[in-house]
Amino acid sequence: MTYAPVQAPAPAPYAKAPSNGLATASLVLGIIGTVLSLIPILGIVGALVGGIGLVLSVFALLAARKHGVGKGKAIAGLVLGLASIVIFVMISAATVAAVDSVVEEMDKATAGASDSTVASDTAGDTEAVDADTSGSMSVGNWKVIGKIKPKADFGGDFQATFRVKNVSDAEDAGFFTVNVLKGNNILGSMDCVSSPAAPGAISTVDCMSTDKFRRGWSEITIENSF
C-alpha cells in the first residue's frame, strides 16, 4: 500500500508592522527645539525647530488616526513644539526688559554726570563778567530790540529769547545764527527763528543750541542763517 507524502503547510506571509515616521520626527524636533529655546542666543533656532516639529505633529496625528500608531509620540511632539515657542518668547521678553532697564539706568547716570558738569562749569564762571548787549544790533532787514541774554535751558545748553523789528517793506520771518564769543573763541552758537512780522512790526525770536551753557562771554554776534 502506497502513501502520498505529506507536505508541510506554507508559511504565512510576513506582515510588516505599521509605523508613523512623522510622529517620531515631530517628537525628536520638539525635544531639540525645547532644549535650544532655553539658550538665549540659540532661542530663535529652537523656536524654529520646535515650530517645524509642531507642524509635523499635526500631520502625525492625522496619520495616527488612519494607521492607529504613533498617537502618543505625535501628542508629545505637539506639546514640546508649543513649549519651545513659548519658552523662546518668554526668555526674549525677559531679555529685552533687562536690557531696557540697563539702558535706562545708564541714561540716568549719564544725565546726572552731564548735569554735574554743567553745574560745575556754571559755578566756575560765576565771577566772569558777561558782555553788555544793549547796543544797537542789526542784521539784514531786522533790528534787535533790547538785549540778547543767553541762558541755560533744561538740558544745560545755550538758549535765548529776544525781539527784533522788521525794517523792510514786506512781511518776513527771520532765521538767524547767534554766536556767543569769548575773545576769539566761540563759547556756543544758537539757531534762531522769529515769527512772521509785517513791515515795522516787532517779532519774538527763539534760539536753541546743542552747546553747553557757559558764562563770561565778551561779545555776541548775530547773522542771517539764509
What integer pLDDT is reported at residue 206 of this predicted model? 95
pTM of the model: 0.43
Q: What is the pLDDT of residues 189-224, one digit of tens each?
A: 999 999 999 999 999 999 999 999 998 889 999 998
Residue range 5-31, pLDDT digits in tens: 656 565 655 556 567 788 888 889 989
Q: Directed axis angle between helix 43-67 and helix 71-124, to 10°?
A: 160
Q: What is the pLDDT of residue 152?
A: 92
Distance CA(177)–CA(226), nearest Å, equals: 9
Alpha carbon separation from 67 to 8, 62, 70, 72, 130 (Å, rounded): 34, 9, 9, 13, 93
Alpha-carbon distance of 27 to 213, in angstroms, equals 66
Task: Show the beta-strand stretches assigned E in the chain.
Answer: 137-139, 142-145, 151-152, 157-166, 175-182, 185-194, 202-212, 219-224
Divide the 226 residues of the chain into consecutive groups of 10 and give the mean pLDDT of each group.
58 61 88 88 87 89 84 89 91 86 77 48 42 68 91 92 93 93 92 93 94 91 86
Look at residue 92 in the predicted model and tell me its pLDDT: 85
